[in-house]
């Protein structure tokens, strides 16, 4: 852990399993208050931190008054639940989860930190239907005395082996600096991710104590497959889980993993130098040399494990997840990828120091 910013303190909101927290901790931040409403995620956060007593479990609004005691804290950071904004959801502006961004800013109003960071889905920054929300965030922050702006980033540019785009809002008290300083720092933090195959192999042998099977959802072929140019797009199987292209980057890991939305791996292609079974199947479908009803999915086709998913989110290999397996997958899918989070934390520290 770097000691470049030991004197900086942080408040963590919507902490989840602690992905964003890891990024800030790895750049020397001391978390003085954390909040998470999900009991399994809160248990995970505590299980990996010797100072877990700073985790306050429950509804954030129940703690609003407490934040005045932290006035002047260096940074408030968090990723308010994004389902209300996500294209994977219903994008309902009346979704209660869409309102939690304003709860976050209420904490900023109470704590008056030197800076704040909000992480969320790309759609919040790009879709016209959310124009009023994003402009409202900037305006609210400005009224509180903060210079605030936002930018969309690909986590793949920050050492994460996923195609995962997220928006980052950064606000800094006008007496402490300007937001453009943070975004300039972020441009300097880019790094290439490890090869996807290398990351998956580092999890250990599938089905062993080191990397146990954690999803038993059967992989079955779609009777009416939707074909695209790539076997890793379209719909070759039932459910939303797609085959993983071991020669590329993973698709964004969803919080809905645990059943048939869990990504699919060809174990033979992973362990041996051979073509992914789905590439062969896709090519034969296009050539009309086969149909789904005559094909048999090999036993070597299986689902991504909790450990592998966590490594793809760049969690430490020894990170402990609490709760049922579906809850663990959810925590991982909802998390901010740790390497990306570290770039954010480091950029905040350099902006404030």
58-104 pLDDT per residue, tens: 999 999 999 999 999 999 999 998 555 554 545 555 555 557 899 99
CA pair distance 118, 105, nearest whole angstrom: 9
Report whether 328 contacts 321 (CB < 8 A). Answer: yes
Q: What three-state secondary structure class fits 149?
A: strand
Any bridge partners for residue 119, and if so which? 168
pLDDT of residue 51: 84
pLDDT of residue 93: 56
Residues forming the active site: 82
CA pair distance 263, 185, nearest whole angstrom: 34
Using alpha carbons only, give the angle 165, 166, 167 rounded to the nearest 5 degrees. 140
Residue with tokens 């978390």: 31
pLDDT of residue 98: 58
Any bridge partners for residue 31, and if so which? 10
Q: How far is CA 142 from the centre of its chain?
A: 27
pLDDT of residue 87: 45
Any bridge partners for residue 152, and if so which? 167
State pTM to two decimals.
Answer: 0.93
Domains of the chain: 9-193+335-352 (3.40.50.150), 215-304 (no CATH)
The string of pLDDT tens digits covering residues 242-284 is: 999 999 999 999 999 999 999 999 999 999 989 999 999 999 9
pLDDT of residue 4: 44
User: What residues have CB less than 8 Å from 246, skipping those under 6 apart?
Assistant: 196, 197, 200, 265, 266, 269, 270, 276
pLDDT of residue 92: 53
pLDDT of residue 99: 79
* Below-50 pLDDT ranges, the chain: 1-5, 87, 89
pLDDT of residue 129: 83
């Amino acid at each position: 852990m770097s000691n470049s910013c030991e004197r900086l303190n942080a408040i963590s909101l919507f902490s989840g399993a602690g992905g964003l927290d890891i990024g800030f901790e790895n750049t020397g931040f001391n978390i003085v208050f954390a909040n998470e409403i999900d009991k399994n995620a809160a248990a995970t956060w505590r299980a990996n931190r010797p100072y877990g007593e700073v985790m306050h479990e429950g509804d954030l609004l129940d703690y609003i008054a407490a934040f005045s005691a932290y006035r002047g804290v260096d940074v408030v950071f968090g990723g308010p639940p994004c389902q209300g904004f996500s294209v994977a959801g219903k994008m309902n502006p009346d979704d209660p989860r869409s309102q939690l961004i304003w709860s976050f800013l209420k904490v900023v109003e109470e704590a008056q930190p030197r800076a704040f960071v909000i992480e969320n889905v790309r759609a919040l920054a790009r879709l016209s239907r959310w124009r009023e929300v994003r402009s409202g965030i900037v305006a609210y922050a400005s009224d509180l005395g903060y210079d605030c702006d936002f930018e969309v980033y690909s986590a793949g540019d920050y050492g994460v082996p996923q195609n995962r785009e997220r928006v980052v809002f950064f606000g800094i008290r006008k007496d402490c600096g300007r937001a453009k300083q943070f975004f300039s720092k972020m441009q300097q933090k880019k790094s290439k991710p490890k090869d996807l195959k290398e990351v998956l192999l580092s999890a250990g042998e599938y089905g062993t104590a080191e990397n146990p099977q954690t999803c038993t959802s059967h992989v079955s072929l779609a009777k009416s497959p939707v074909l695209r140019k790539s076997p890793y797009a379209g719909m070759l199987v039932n459910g939303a889980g797609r085959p993983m292209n071991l020669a590329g980057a993973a698709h964004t890991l969803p919080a809905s993993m645990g059943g048939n939305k869990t990504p699919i791996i060809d174990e033979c292609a992973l362990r041996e130098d051979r073509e992914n079974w789905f590439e062969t199947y896709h090519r034969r479908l296009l050539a009309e040399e086969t149909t789904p009803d005559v094909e048999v999915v090999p036993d070597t086709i299986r689902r991504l494990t909790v450990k592998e998913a966590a490594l793809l989110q760049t969690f430490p290999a020894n990170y402990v997840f609490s709760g049922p397996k579906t809850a663990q997958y959810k925590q991982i899918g909802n998390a901010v990828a740790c390497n990306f989070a570290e770039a954010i934390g480091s950029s905040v520290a350099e902006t404030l120091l």
